[in-house]
Amino acid sequence: MSRFFFSLLILILLAGLALAQDTPDDSLFGGNTSSEQPSDDMFGDNIFTEVSNAPGAKPATDLFTTSGVSLGGKFAVATELSLDLNPVDGQDALSSGLTDLSTTLFLDARPATDFRAFVKGKLGYTTTNGVSFELKEAFADITIADTVFVRAGKQTVNWGVGYFFSPANLINLEQIDPENPGAELSGPIAFKAQLPLGADNLTGYLLTNDSADGNNFSSAARYEFLVSGFEVTTGGIIEDSGHWALMATASGSVQDVTLFAETVLEGNSTKVFVVKDSSKPTGLSTTTSDALYVSATLGARYSYTTEDDLYRFTGIAQYFFNGLGYEDNSIFTDNPAAIGSLVGSGSLNLSDLQERGQHYLAINLSSPDIAKSKLTPSALWLANLSDGSGFLNASLSYSGIDYVTPNIRYRYSYGTKGAEYSPNGVKHSLSLGFSLIASF
């Protein structure tokens, strides 16, 4: 019953604050202890991690076990040669270019069992924008009396359990890219604290998205507990802009199938919507909404390995109902020039054009190192069921060369011209890529 009351208390408190649209109180704080970064392995065995607490264990000592300073990182470079099988008039069918050139570096300092400092940055280069640097994380961890765990600074905080889509990812500054779900997401500057309660955790945050002037503060809280082998979380966030959201997630296994689900209720969304407006020359304008929106997602993951270990099959599927999407997507396909004008004028951001449908489906199938050949065939189907657009990526990669991975990919995009996944209509392309990745 204590779990129920903790969850109910969080939801009622945050809902009351949201509906009143008051500035969050400084007493509403707490946090999630881990950096919660998604795995770089798209089909690794660590999409979900179960943590068991041994009797008599000291979380602080277990968390900070290494003294001294660790340095490391990753270097990556990738190129691609692409052939457009049905090019648009006036465009070249063959193109090539650099798709990645970056170095990620981190410093992990643990001078004591109750203190840790971590910094990670990414230095990148593109032919369009030249050299860039992004601070990925910079935080300090401390533990107070082996009871309360505090993290302060810029940090990645993944609340959701979804793989391709995650409506409960309310805190990070970026959304998951379904074509690269393992990529690390940029997080906010936050003060976070966690109070373990046996096998449960009560966490919360004070956040800011703009450290220059101290504005855009938010408060958040989350409670985690186990129910019949499923990890369940409830929580919410409220921002000084008036936007608020309540969330719940669940993840666990039924026999050989891993299941995961999320649901979110939010109000006073900051998303910009496109609406018809006869008073405008383009016939369209933009607006925001204070309505209530419900989003939800449900997914499953299954892996099978033959007894001789020659074949391993992994499949993952996820459905996403996007409450912030449009019931009628024809506003985009019927008015491409007007949409472009809104983007060009700054009234509409490109991020507002992502996930604009209400119904999505993603399925990925893979067979890593098939028959011990170092070859990995895989296929990804991503569909916006609302506007009828989508694409299929079928690829084959080879991992038999140290550090270097060649791959070949066929991509088929379908749907009406101007739809989310078919901006240029039906397209076929074939590409050959090479990537070099080395960790140190």
Condensed to tens digits (0 to 9), the pLDDT of residues 48-57 reads 434 444 444 4
Q: What is the pLDDT of residue 333?
A: 87
Judge contact between 233 and 249, C-beta under 8 A.
Answer: yes
Q: What is the pLDDT of residue 242?
A: 87
Condensed to tens digits (0 to 9), the pLDDT of residues 130-187 reads 999 999 999 999 999 889 999 999 999 989 999 999 999 999 989 999 999 999 999 9
Bridge partners (DSSP) listed for residue 417: none
**pLDDT grade, residue 189 (50/70/90)?**
very high
Condensed to tens digits (0 to 9), the pLDDT of residues 314-347 reads 999 999 999 999 998 899 988 888 888 898 888 8
Q: Which two tokens stand for residue 245?
A: 């959201």
Condensed to tens digits (0 to 9), the pLDDT of residues 20-36 reads 444 333 333 333 333 33
Which of 233, 296, 231, 223 is CA-nearest to residue 259? 231
Secondary structure element (H or E) that encloses residue 59, with its range? helix 59-63
Judge contact between 238 and 137, C-beta under 8 A.
Answer: no
Q: What share of the chain is helix, strand, coil (3-state, %, to 5)?
A: 10, 50, 40
Question: Which DSSP state fits 84?
Answer: E
Mean pLDDT of 360-375: 96
CATH match for 2-53+69-439 among 1.10.10.10, 2.60.120.620, 2.30.30.90, 2.40.160.10: 2.40.160.10
Rounded distance between C-alpha atoms, residue 422 and residue 429, angstroms: 13
State yes or no: pLDDT of 58 exceeds 50: no
Residue with tokens 């921002």: 239
pTM of this structure: 0.83
325 contacts: CB under 8 Å, gap ≥ 6: 355, 356, 357, 358, 359, 386
